[in-house]
């Protein structure tokens, strides 16, 4: 995180069949075998588009005007934990970002559905 590079990941899912394959590979811990999976590292990343780009920032859906430029600034991020915290924070241990249920909920949201535990 402090090396001055961004980890960039993209997945191209061409339909329901590929979505099923994506979920199965993710659940098996083999997501990198998905044919539409691409990842790389770079100090900057730029998104160009003829139209505003739909994004999510701090949980808010936004449309931002391009170009969008992302860059890593080494040494800028500081993480503070209480002295009694050992290892990962309790919040980090409670959330399983790459789990089958999280990916299933995410795909449902993309399709316009709410997760089951959301009012």
Tens of pLDDT along 83-97?
776 666 666 666 565
Q: Are 6 and 71 in contact (CB under 8 A)?
A: yes
Q: Can you give the pLDDT at residue 59?
A: 81
pLDDT at 111: 73
- Decide if 26 contacts 98 (C-beta within 8 A): yes
pLDDT of residue 116: 59
CA pair distance 104, 22, nearest whole angstrom:
10
Those residues of the chain that have pLDDT short of 70 are 1-2, 85-100, 114-119
* pLDDT computed for residue 92 by the predictor: 61
Whole-prediction pTM value?
A: 0.55
- In the block, residue with structure tokens 């990343």: 45
pLDDT at 86: 65
pLDDT the model gives residue 25: 92
Residue 1 has a pLDDT of: 61
pLDDT at residue number 73: 82
Whether 47 contacts 28, CB under 8 Å: no
Q: Which residues touch 18 (CB under 8 Å, ≥6 apart)?
A: 35, 36
Please state, in angstroms and rounded to a whole number, the distance separating the CA atoms of residues 69 and 67: 6
The pLDDT assigned to 103 comes to 73
């Amino acid at each position: 995180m402090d090396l001055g590079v961004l980890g960039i990941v993209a997945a191209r899912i061409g339909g329901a069949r590929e979505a099923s394959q994506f979920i199965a590979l993710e659940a098996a811990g083999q997501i990198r075998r998905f044919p539409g999976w691409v990842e790389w590292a770079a100090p900057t990343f730029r998104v160009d588009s003829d139209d505003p780009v739909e994004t999510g920032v701090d949980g808010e859906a936004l449309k931002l005007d391009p170009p969008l430029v992302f860059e890593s600034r080494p040494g800028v991020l500081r993480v503070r934990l209480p002295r009694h915290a050992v290892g990962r924070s309790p919040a980090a241990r409670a959330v399983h970002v790459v789990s089958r249920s999280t990916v299933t909920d995410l795909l449902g949201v993309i399709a316009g559905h709410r997760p089951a535990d959301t009012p």
